[in-house]
């Protein structure tokens, strides 16, 4: 593979940086689809595609792939397969499959990436990329030498003398991590229906268990789907949670079963690389002996928290280097049970306009459930109290101008029906919101998705952003949340003077 670094990123001595990446070299070519296998458990349509290439003897089986599909693509490909159903196998030789196989006329061609060819001529870790309509099935053959070899030259080994009675440090064979990208490894482990070990790009390893456990019954998504989502969006979410203490809400039996909050790292023994630190007693809102918290910023920490069923990532607004100073504040727009999302958009637009008059930058995102969050960057050294006061003034101004739609009433029972609660009380040391790019325990497996301000003028639906659909959007629009880190922060001294002048009675 290749080791690459973001050109503009600084070097950080003594700690890992997301600016560095290890890129594995993979192969890619077309394959003829000769059949499919039945799905397992909650999966719909089909389990895997049976792939082949032509040679002088006919269509030769080279392996199967069941990864790389979202629900929409599964449905689309299934219709094409069903229309080409055949009674006999198109492969030249009899093949064995893990699940019952069904055959199709070999008329479809799939583009597939894979790590290498095995010694017996099969694909290792194939991932479906899409269908090809520009390639004739009869022209599909095994491509030799068209890609950079995936293996390094063999190393010379030196025999080491073992000390009698000393155990070796080598991992047992059944615990060896599989090869391939993290997403591909997780998919392979889930498909095997066994526990496994994931090898991360920096060489760290993470044991994972029960990946086929159903976490979201309605969209039929598993624990494995959650880990694969976080592995895919890690480059976006890791800078957002870096150096921040994390609060966990754990759902060990899925989103419809009881959950519990966890502030601390308790008796768990996480793998190496998971960052845990104790905050000063005078800073930490919950005082305990040896109070330790998970600290975000590494892939192994992110995936370990998902492994122990913490679905969302909920970081502090401050970092461990300056825990009493907030880096940003947030307004949480929380609709009542009978409040349409269109009203949430109305309130967000009014806040946008209010902040524009103050020349204060802000970045909006969906909550991943039914609401919206609006974040505002603060200058270094800003106290939580100053940030909360600013949000309280803005929220009160909006609720005063639009009392039929917006409210700052804390009591749910006392809020007018059909209103949006503009919550400014999240801006307290130790309180958290699900961060940008975080998965949520909403029934539709939502993702807290950064938005452009212009999108709030459209009829968006937060249910469109899920752990299945959101990664494609992020690849298209890029890191919209990065604006929070690069925008000029709000000058609260100027803002408070403006409000004082605006609210003071005329002389």
Contact 198, 184 (CB under 8 A): no
| pLDDT value for 72 | 85
* Region 52-75 average pLDDT: 92
**Which of 249-263, 305-319, 461-475 shows the lowest mean pLDDT across its residues?**
249-263
- Predicted local confidence at residue 16, as pLDDT: 66
Residue 502, pLDDT score = 82
Q: Report which of residues 189 and 154 the model is more confident about.
A: 189
Partners of 366 in beta bridges:
372
Q: Which residues does 306 contact at the CB level (< 8 Å), separation at least 6? A: 223, 226, 227, 230
Q: CA angle, corner 80, sides to 75 and 84, nearest 5? A: 140
Q: Is the pTM for the entire model greater than 0.75?
A: no
Please give the backbone phi and psi of residue 314, each rounded to the nearest 5 degrees, phi first.
Answer: -120, 90
Q: Looking at the predicted structure, is the pLDDT value of residue 286 above 80?
A: no
What single DSSP character describes residue 424?
Answer: -
Residue 362 confidence (pLDDT): 97
pLDDT of residue 86: 95
- Closest to 423 in 3D by CA, of 367, 495, 504, 354: 367
200 against 166, higher pLDDT: 200
Structure tokens at 428: 């307290």
Cα(211)–Cα(42) distance, integer angstroms: 13
Q: Could you read off the pLDDT of 373-418 as tens digits, one per residue?
A: 999 999 999 999 999 999 999 999 999 999 999 999 999 989 999 9
Mean pLDDT of the region 287-310 = 87
Q: How far apart are CA 172 and CA 193, in angstroms?
A: 19
Residue 482 has pLDDT above 60, yes or no: yes
Share of the chain above pLDDT 90, in %: 70
Under DSSP, is residue 195 helix (H, G, I), strand (E, B) or coil? coil
Backbone angles phi, psi at 328, to 5 degrees: -160, 165
């Amino acid at each position: 593979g290749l080791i690459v670094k973001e050109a503009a990123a600084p070097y950080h001595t003594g700690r890992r940086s997301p600016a560095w990446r290890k890129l594995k070299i993979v192969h890619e070519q077309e394959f003829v689809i000769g059949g499919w296998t039945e799905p397992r458990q909650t999966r719909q349509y089909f389990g895997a595609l049976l792939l082949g290439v032509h040679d002088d003897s006919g269509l030769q089986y080279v392996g199967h792939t069941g990864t790389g599909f979202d629900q929409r693509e599964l449905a689309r490909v299934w219709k094409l397969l069903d229309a080409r159903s055949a009674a006999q196998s198109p492969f030249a030789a009899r093949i064995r499959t893990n699940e019952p196989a069904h055959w199709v006329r070999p008329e479809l061609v799939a583009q597939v990436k894979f790590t290498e060819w095995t010694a017996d001529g099969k694909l290792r870790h194939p991932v479906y990329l899409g269908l090809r309509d520009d390639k004739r099935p009869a022209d599909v053959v095994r491509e030799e030498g068209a890609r950079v070899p995936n293996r390094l030259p063999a190393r010379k080994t030196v025999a080491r003398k073992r000390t009698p009675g000393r155990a070796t440090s080598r991992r047992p064979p059944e615990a060896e991590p599989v090869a391939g990208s993290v997403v591909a490894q997780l998919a392979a482990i889930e498909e095997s229906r066994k526990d496994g070990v994931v090898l991360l790009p920096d060489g760290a390893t993470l044991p994972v268990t029960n990946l086929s456990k159903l976490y979201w019954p309605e969209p039929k998504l598993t624990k494995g789907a959650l880990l694969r989502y976080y592995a895919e969006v890690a480059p976006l979410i890791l800078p957002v949670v870096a150096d921040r203490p994390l609060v966990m809400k754990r759902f060990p039996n899925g989103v419809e079963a009881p959950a519990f909050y966890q502030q601390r790292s308790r008796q768990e023994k996480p793998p190496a690389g998971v960052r845990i630190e104790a905050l000063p007693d005078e800073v930490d809102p919950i005082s305990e002996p040896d109070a330790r918290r998970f600290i975000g910023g590494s892939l192994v920490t992110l995936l370990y928290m998902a492994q122990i069923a913490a679905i969302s990532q909920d970081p502090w607004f401050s970092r461990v280097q300056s825990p009493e100073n907030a880096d940003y504040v947030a307004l949480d727009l929380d609709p009542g049970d009978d409040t349409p999302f269109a009203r949430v958009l109305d309130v967000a637009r009014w806040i946008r306009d209010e902040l524009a008059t103050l020349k204060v930058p802000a970045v909006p995102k969906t909550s991943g459930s039914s609401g919206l969050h609006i974040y505002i960057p603060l200058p270094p050294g800003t106290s939580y109290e100053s940030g909360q006061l600013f949000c309280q003034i803005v929220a009160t101004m909006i609720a005063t101008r639009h009392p039929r739609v917006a409210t700052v009433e804390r009591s749910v029972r006392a809020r007018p029906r059909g209103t949006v609660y503009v919550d400014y009380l999240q801006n307290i040391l130790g309180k958290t919101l699900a961060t940008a790019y975080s998965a949520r325990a909403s029934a539709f497996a939502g993702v807290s998705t950064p938005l452009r301000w212009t999108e709030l003028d459209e009829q968006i639906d937060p249910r469109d952003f899920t752990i299945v659909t959101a990664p494609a959007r992020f690849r298209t629009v890029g890191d919209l949340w990065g604006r929070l880190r690069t925008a000029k922060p709000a000058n609260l001294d100027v803002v408070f003077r403006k409000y004082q002048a605006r609210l003071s009675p005329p002389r």
